[in-house]
Amino acid sequence: MLEVRNITKSYGEGRTRVTALDNVSFTLGKGKLLAILGPSGSGKTTLVSIIAGLLGPTSGEIVIGGHAVHLRTASQAARFRREKVGLVFQDHHLVPYLTAMENLLLVPHLSGRVTRTHRELADTLLADFGLTARAAHKPSLLSGGERQRVAIARALMNAPEIMLVDEPTSSLDTERGLQVVELLKAQVHERAMTCLMVTHDPRMAAHADESLTLIDGRATR
Amino acid sequence: MLALKELLGSKLKFSLIALAIGLVVSLTMVTSAMSEGLLTGMSGAKSSLAADALVFQRDTYPTLERSILTANDLKVIAATPGVMSVYGVGHTFATVGSAEEPFDVRILGLGDRFDQLPIVEGTGEPGPGEAVVDVTAKLQGVELGDTLTLTPVNAELTVVGFTEDRRYVMVPALFVSLSTWEDLHVASVLGRVEDEGGADAEAGARMAREFAGSASIAAIELEDGVSIADVEREFDGSYALATPADSARAGNGMPEMILAVGGIQVVSIVIGALLVGVFFYITTLHKTSQVAAVKAIGASNAHLYRELIIQITILVTVATVFGTALAIAAGAGMPPMMAFDPDPVRWATSVLAIFGTAYLGSLFSLRSILRIDPATALGRTEP
């Protein structure tokens, strides 16, 4: 369960003060995919960064599974992301010098050690995402859709409670974009995760369970 | 894992980086070694004299060329409390006129201490009329067994051995026995007088008597627990005293040369280290989005710093080994006249400076990356 309570995020002081998020609140249950829509500069990425603990809010609370995220220190936030959060970026951001398999194993590596269980999980995820044959390939040898699928598989490596997905289809054509969203939705339902997907594309948002629109930092459902 | 994977995954890129850093290491090392070699060429024959201290005629310190000690002076010095042993060192100028192209040499008489010369060819025990010659004389065509005719003294010396790193004021030193030096020294002075039309056989004979048993300076070894200052007090101003290293760094324009050479070394180290520091700052900054992504999926700042330090350490170590090997190879390929004398302390200084700035540049860069907004660091663009 994700609870976003009265989150406000401002930058600057006085006349130069800019409010990126203005008193945003919503709740999202397990096994739900929420699409966050909004025009450029509406605060979508800021909201995802705050939920991930990459940014702190100016005011308000983020509660995940009964624990406040916004009060954590930088190292606690890093640990929280390693253990509880799956992040998928707009441009996949796979590590270029690691193979698809190694990109998946990077997540347990950051937690300390890679076990046989982790390798088996990575094998399973690559198989689930139709990437077994591409396991030993580096990102430069993968197509855009394959890279995004590897990125989603990587985000699932730590069995996250919450998935934060930022524009996963922006670099894909409609057909491949829809495939990725369907894949994501299936995983969210199957693993009973809470998932936020930032998108600007209403066609992709239509496949989500719920949607929320941000305009000038204010949320409407 | 990440540090090594990245190095192995981008072999060409990191090989080029290591090559660039290696060349910087090599440059600083070659500059330093050639500078040191220049100083060795200027005063190697003096600085390497086996002695705790060198004793000069009063008021002539540290000029080997001007100092003269009589036989009685050497006795007085030998009898000074704290002095364990003494041997005379004579100095005079000459030109090897028998060579195809005449060249200058410095003649050094050594009183029974030829065991200190590193012999690279032939023998190290010259008899009367024989010399052990610095190996750089070979560049002038001198070979073992050659008879050198010296001008203006009009004397002959047979080459019985070659030594190394024994040049003085950039010309080869010829080591002869002290008695041979006496003859050459007197002949040198008389030769000049003769050239000026003032030859006087009686004066020459008197001069030879006066110089009997003399030397230019005395090389002394001290008893255990005795310092140079102790002996200096005993001399009470009768003689000037200095260590071989100190005396080698004085006179013949050496202070000015040392300043210039030191300046060159400092500048090369500073520029080299700054280049490497800036280089690593920029290359790390180029990894902004990659660092931000790894951080976003859970890497702690400590983990990122650790990986970067591992990577810099591996890379700079490889570059240092390569650069050092390159510098040594360059030194080995240089002719003996191009002095090349690597100094481990200066080498370590330049390597430490390069490591230091590499760490500083990259860590400062990573610190900057970790401070910026993650979304900005990830290069996210709103569609």
| Nearest Cα residue to B212 out of B176, B178, B174 | B178
Beta bridge partners of B85: B221
B156 domain residue, yes or no: yes
Residue B204 shares a structural domain with residue B81: yes
Residue B144 shares a structural domain with residue B217: yes
Residue B343 shares a structural domain with residue B196: no
Beta bridge partners of B147: B158
> Does B12 contact chain A (CB < 8 Å)?
no
Quote the ipTM score: 0.77
B310 domain residue, yes or no: yes
Which chain B residues in 290-329 lie under 8 Å from chain A, judged by CB atoms? 290, 292-303
User: What six digits make up the tokens of A59?
Assistant: 């005011």
User: pLDDT tens digits, residue range A33-61?
Assistant: 999 998 888 888 888 888 888 888 999 99
* pLDDT value of residue B375: 61
Cα torsion through B2, B8, B13, B17, rounded to 10:
80
Residue B330 shares a structural domain with residue B223: no
Residue in A54, A98, A170 closest to B296 by CB: A54
Residue where a domain terminates, one of B242, B273, B290: B242
Lowest-pLDDT range, A111-125, A126-140, B53-67, B353-367? B53-67
User: What six digits make up the tokens of A66?
Assistant: 């009964």
Q: Which residues contact A105 (CB under 8 A, 6 or more apart)?
A: A114, A118, A119, A122, A157
Residue B211 shares a structural domain with residue B142: yes
Residue B144 shares a structural domain with residue B231: yes
Residue B226 shares a structural domain with residue B274: no
Residue where a domain terminates, one of B217, B242, B267: B242
* pLDDT value of residue B192: 58
Q: Which domain holds residue B347?
A: 2-43+255-377
Cα torsion through B185, B187, B193, B199, rounded to 10:
150
Q: How far, in Å, CA of B331 to CA of B92, rounded?
A: 31
B247 domain residue, yes or no: no
Task: Examine the pLDDT at A2 and tell me if it is beyond 80.
Answer: yes
Contact check, Cβ <8 Å, B380/A83:
no
Task: Examine the pLDDT at A27 and tell me if it is beyond 50.
Answer: yes
Q: Which residue of B has its CA nearest to A44?
A: B382
Lowest-pLDDT range, A2-16, A71-85, A95-109, A199-213? A71-85
B344 domain residue, yes or no: yes
Residue in B297, B301, B374 closest to A110 by CB: B297
Say how many Å lie between the first and final Cα of chain A, rounded: 18
Residue where a domain terminates, one of B242, B269, B293: B242
Contact check, Cβ <8 Å, B6/A97:
yes
Residue B82 shares a structural domain with residue B14: no
Contact check, Cβ <8 Å, B301/A75:
yes
Q: Are strands B147-151 and B239-242 parallel, antiparallel or unpaired?
A: unpaired
Residue B206 shares a structural domain with residue B76: yes
Contact check, Cβ <8 Å, B293/A75:
no
* pLDDT value of residue B381: 45
Give the residue carrying structure tokens 């230019």: B216
Residue B184 shares a structural domain with residue B215: yes
User: pLDDT tens digits, residue range A64-103?
Assistant: 877 787 667 777 878 888 888 888 887 778 998 899 999 9
Residue B215 shares a structural domain with residue B326: no
- How far off is chain B from A89, nearest CA to CA, in Å? 8
| Nearest Cα residue to A171 out of A201, A196, A141, A202 | A201
Contact check, Cβ <8 Å, B294/A110:
yes
The more confidently predicted of residues B368 and A172 is: B368
Q: How far, in Å, CA of B69 to CA of B78, rounded?
A: 12
Question: Taking a C-beta distance cutoff of 8 angstroms, is the pair B56, B242 a contact?
Answer: yes
What are φ and ψ of residue A182, in 5° steps?
-65, -40
Q: DSSP state, B215?
A: B
Tell me the chain B residues in contact with residue A107 when contact means C-beta distances shorter than 8 Å.
Answer: 297-298
Question: Taking a C-beta distance cutoff of 8 angstroms, is the pair A166, A45 a contact?
Answer: yes
Residue B122 shares a structural domain with residue B263: no
As a CATH number, domain A2-220 is 3.40.50.300
Question: Taking a C-beta distance cutoff of 8 angstroms, is the pair A25, A221 a contact?
Answer: no
Counted domains in chain B:
2
Q: Which residues contact A65 (CB under 8 A, 6 or more apart)?
A: A1, A84, A161
Task: Write out residues in chain B with pLDDT < 70, as ranges.
Answer: 61-62, 191-200, 336-337, 373-383
> Does B373 contact chain A (CB < 8 Å)?
yes
